[in-house]
Amino acid sequence: MKFPNKLYTYNDSVISKLPVILKQIENNKDLSLSDLYYSVNSKFQNITEFLDALDCLYTLGKIEYSFDSRRVNNVI
C-alpha cells in the first residue's frame, strides 16, 4: 500500500484514489465489486491498487460490504 512520503507523491499514493471510489458509490448507491472496478479501473494502475483503496475506505468506515447481497454501500 502506497502512502505519501519521500518516495511517493500524493498523486501516486492510494489516498488520492479514495475520492474516485467514493464518488462512484455515491452516484450508484449499490454496486457489486466487479461493477465498481470496471467503472473506475482507468484511474488505477492495477487491481491491487484498487483493493488497497477499498481496504482503506472499509477500515475508515466510509464504505460497508453486504455479504448477503455482495454489494458495496456508502456509509453516511
**Where are the domains positioned within the chain?**
10-74
Q: Which residue has the cell 482503506?
A: 56
Q: Quick one: cell of 29?
A: 448507491
Architecture category of domain 10-74 in CATH: Orthogonal Bundle (1.10)
User: Which pLDDT value is given to residue 76?
Assistant: 64
Contact 74, 25 (CB under 8 A): yes
Instruction: Please write the tens of the pLDDT for every residue from 1-54.
Output: 777 778 888 788 889 899 999 999 988 878 899 999 999 999 999 999 999 999
User: Which pLDDT value is given to residue 56?
Assistant: 93
